[in-house]
Structure 1
Amino acid sequence: MTGILVVVDPFSSGTVFARRAKELHGMRSVAVVTSDSLPAALTAHYAPDDFIGEVRFTTAEETARRVESLCGGRPDAVICGSEPGVEAYDALASHWGLRPNTGPSQVRRDKFLMQERLREAGIRHIRQHRAPDTEDAVAWCAGSGLREFVVKPVKSFATDGVFFCSGPEEVRAACERLFARSDFSGRPITDVLVQERVMGPEFVVDSVSLDGAHFVVDMFQYTKENVDGNPVYRAMTSVEPAEHPGIVAYVEQALTALGIGNGPAHSELVLTADGPVLIETGARMHGGQGPSLVDASSTHSLIDLALASRVAPDDFLRRTEVRPSLRRGVVECFLFAPVTGVVTANRVRAMCRDLDSYLYDTCDQVPGDRVDRTTDLITSYGRVVLANADPEALAQDTATVLDLDRRGAFIDVRPVG
């Protein structure tokens, strides 16, 4: 086909959509950008040359008018490129009638409203409270009867501003830190979300939907570590979706409740003793390296399915006639910088490339480059991606990479004040 694709906030993994739409479907693309204050870690790989033009989002009506003026008429499809664009994407899809999602868009972005929607739908959810100030948050925690809490911005993503807290006083400290800053999208934090901390292994499930029918493409299990009370990703390991039918069924229920009937979604959940419970769902494709990991390990491409659901439904239905399975296991290892400073030596590639499972890494720092102390997903200074059809070899190589990183063998950093 030929035509025009609108990509809303084409950042993170969403940078691939314009090029892939041209390669597979002969489409040209227009970028719609919602903010000029998004962090460089999110926007670093944005490629303006992949687009025939860029439009700044204001209102759905005005933005649509400017897009139509730019491309000579109504576009043929619209897709969300990254988390900050979810609500603008919803508004434009509804304005043009291009397979929009249903129900209020806020429940797909606001984590408090997301859990409330699950509660209203009778789906397993998390006890929570939305606090306008620190004292209100502490009072709710003290009266909740709970011991463990999660505190975060109501529109958090990429683990930004997420704190694990034991007791009201740790909640107080987390709230004071959050209310003094802006969230990852650059908006001042005016209220915080306080939730019960649910326990169990954590999974991520990527899905793509078409006209209300959901297709789970892949599944990963997270390993996280605490850094100053923040949960920070340490590894992400592929899992066979067919081995967890209960998780698949729960995610499909949650997607329906949240009105995500068209396009990709990225759901994070905890498998508790009582069954899976949703942490949050993003109405967009898995960010970062996630889609590349799926392509490297699965029978199905998350990128191509996400795109097909928006621009080529017949192709989507053909591709989803067969359920996905793993061709080989894959692990993404997240590397931690112990301090903020200047790199004086980088040995990541030299120490990892001879591992049987080594696929690639993202660690291109050279002496003189600056890295930040790792406190969340964004400040991880790089990834080592491993892939192997032999589970034991993959597990051994994963342990080797993480051990080397914990011992500080990969990089030398000269601290700066």
Structure 2
Amino acid sequence: MRTSAVKSVLFVGGKRTEALEAARNSGLQVIYVGPKTDMTARHHELVDAAFLFPEFSPELALRAAIALRELIPFDIAYTAGDLYLETAARINHELGLKSNPLRTVSAVNDKALMRDILRDTGVHQVASAKIRNRLDLEEFVTSNGFPLILKPTRGSASEDVRIISDATELADVAAGLESAGNASSDSAAPWVAEEFLEGREFSVETHSAAGEHQILAVTEKFKTESFVEIGHVVPARITAEEHTMLTDETKAVLTALGVEEGPAHTELILTAKGPGLVETHTRPGGDAIVELIRIVAGYDIHEMTFSWLSGERADVSHKPLAGGAAIWFLTAEQGRVTAAGGETEARTSEGVQFASLSAAVGDVISEVRSSADRHGEALAVGEDADSALRNAREAVARFLVEVEPLNPAGDPVQG
């Protein structure tokens, strides 16, 4: 049980309401602070009080939270959104509220800081370096060779992650760094370089309570060549030995970073030398992974979180609903959409629980560079992981998206 039970929670931002509903179901008072654009009719139904502002500002959110606590006391600030994690942690830190330490949350949002903290610990070491300019990048290549991964230090949703495979690609990327302007040695590094980890990718979903990390599921992940996630399946198709390696490494990472409580989503690649950490997050997994776990493992991550915070047992579980569950995303061809449809066919496909197409006639589809560039999804169940994955992919194949190619000026290409 948690030593200090929570009776009131301040939610920081977020358009989704599942966590708010779980807090309500646990009998907690719900207060909300965030941008007006995140607020929906369902939010209004769930919250007891709200402070809204036109655009999100971490400083404004902190000041608002401090002022609100004088009027409506709350016991913890919480969020499930990447954009707001560090702000919620800073509110807890400034007000002395029990939660994951600010340095822990900062580390999972700053990939360079995370590597610094994990260096010389018992976790699998991944070569990395802060990249401020061309020289930093060239020095990393000299020490570690090709290929390498370059990613924004504080990036999310797989945006701007790139692989550099040879000297030509290095020269192109380095030129881009120079044109953007070199950061000084005293400033925060905007990029981090990491050794390329070769192998299958997974995520381990956990819930922590008083520093003990409970494994909820291992998710198998699928990505494009530009590292954008296009599918997930639970359970991961791995051996018992691989499961142990992945989960043991995850627990070691969370302990080394100082994660004390709440959900975490840890991404790893299973290499020939064992699991290597990609990144971790002190929040539930996105892309409906929460739903996949609920269906297959019987754990509702939001319910577990607020059960723990309210002073109850965290290891609540329910009867699994299927042997496998998967979600698959549509990545359409580039161009202007001339026809779109097939939602009814996708939704009535075998095992489908949910299907949605976001592409519409007139939309311009660009290169898939982040999760925001996907244009449809289908979540399906099956008797096992293979059948669930097949059902989800077949449902997405039923979407119809036709495009006309565009030239660099944005005009249709003449045939």
Distance 1:390 1:293, change over 3 A: closer
Distance 1:172 1:89, change over 3 A: farther
Q: Does 1:287 align with 2:286?
A: yes
Aligned counterpart for 1:21 among listed residues 12, 20, 23: 23
Q: Does 1:327 align with 2:322?
A: yes
Q: Does 1:8 align with 2:12?
A: yes
Report the residue type matching 1:327 in the other structure: A
Q: Does 1:137 align with 2:127?
A: no
SS at match of 2:326: strand
SS at match of 1:237: strand
- Aligned ranges 1:10-409 → 2 under 5 Å: 10-11=14-15, 15-32=17-34, 49=44, 50-51=46-47, 52-54=49-51, 56-58=57-59, 62-69=63-70, 72-102=71-101, 104-105=103-104, 106-141=106-141, 143-174=142-173, 176-177=175-176, 191-226=190-225, 230-239=226-235, 243=240, 244-309=243-308, 311-317=309-315, 319=316, 327-341=322-336, 343-398=337-392, 400-401=394-395, 404=397
Report the residue type matching 1:18 in the other structure: L
| Offset, 1:370 | 5.0
Aligned counterpart for 1:412 among listed residues 396, 402, 407: 402
Q: Is the contact made by 1:2 and 1:27 (CA closer than 8 Å) also made in structure 2?
A: no
Report the residue type matching 1:334 in the other structure: F
| Offset, 1:372 | 3.9
Q: Is the contact made by 1:31 and 1:54 (CA closer than 8 Å) also made in structure 2?
A: yes
Computed over aligned residues only, the root mean square deviation of the Cα atoms, in angstroms, reads 3.3
| Alignment match, 2:184 | none
Distance 1:81 1:399, change over 3 A: closer
Q: Is the contact made by 1:153 and 1:189 (CA closer than 8 Å) also made in structure 2?
A: no
- Please give the alpha-carbon distance, in whole angstroms, between the structure 2 residues aligned to 1:131 and 1:87: 22
Which runs of 5 or more structure 1 residues have no equivalent in the other structure?
Answer: 183-187
- Please give the alpha-carbon distance, in whole angstroms, between the structure 1 residues aligned to 2:275 and 2:78: 28
SS at match of 1:160: coil
Cα shift readout 1:383-408 (whole Å, capped 9, x = no counterpart): 11111124453344345356x38xxx
Distance 1:18 1:390, change over 3 A: closer
Distance 1:349 1:64, change over 3 A: closer
Report the residue type matching 1:313 in the other structure: G
Distance 1:78 1:349, change over 3 A: same
Distance 1:334 1:177, change over 3 A: farther
| Offset, 1:368 | 3.9
TM-score of the superposed pair, with normalisation by structure 1: 0.82
| Offset, 1:175 | 5.1
Report the residue type matching 2:312 in the other structure: D
What is the number of equivalent residue pairs in this alignment? 388
| Offset, 1:9 | 3.0
- Please give the alpha-carbon distance, in whole angstroms, between the structure 1 residues aligned to 2:68 and 2:354: 38
| Offset, 1:344 | 2.9
Q: Is the contact made by 2:267 and 2:277 (CA closer than 8 Å) also made in structure 1?
A: yes
- Please give the alpha-carbon distance, in whole angstroms, between the structure 2 residues aligned to 1:179 and 1:157: 23
Q: Is the contact made by 2:8 and 2:28 (CA closer than 8 Å) also made in structure 1?
A: no
Report the residue type matching 2:377 in the other structure: R
Cα shift readout 1:97-138 (whole Å, capped 9, x = no counterpart): 433223724322110111221123231121011111134213
Report the residue type matching 2:59 in the other structure: T
Stretch moving more, 54-63 or 374-383? 54-63
| Offset, 1:58 | 1.3
Cα shift readout 1:159-195 (whole Å, capped 9, x = no counterpart): 011012212432343455577789xxxxx99621111
Distance 1:133 1:325, change over 3 A: farther
Q: Is the contact made by 2:158 and 2:369 (CA closer than 8 Å) also made in structure 1?
A: no
| Offset, 1:47 | 6.1
Q: Is the contact made by 2:110 and 2:154 (CA closer than 8 Å) also made in structure 1?
A: yes
Q: Is the contact made by 1:126 and 1:277 (CA closer than 8 Å) also made in structure 2?
A: yes
Which runs of 5 or more structure 2 residues have no equivalent in the other structure?
Answer: 182-186, 411-415
- Please give the alpha-carbon distance, in whole angstroms, between the structure 2 residues aligned to 1:395 and 1:145: 36
Higher alpha-carbon Rg: 2
Q: Is the contact made by 2:17 and 2:43 (CA closer than 8 Å) also made in structure 1?
A: no
Q: Is the contact made by 2:335 and 2:365 (CA closer than 8 Å) also made in structure 1?
A: yes
TM-score of the superposed pair, with normalisation by structure 2: 0.82
- Please give the alpha-carbon distance, in whole angstroms, between the structure 1 residues aligned to 2:374 and 2:39: 15
Percent of aligned pairs with the same residue? 19
Q: Is the contact made by 2:157 and 2:228 (CA closer than 8 Å) also made in structure 1?
A: no
Distance 1:18 1:281, change over 3 A: same
Distance 1:214 1:179, change over 3 A: farther
- Please give the alpha-carbon distance, in whole angstroms, between the structure 2 residues aligned to 1:199 and 1:111: 19
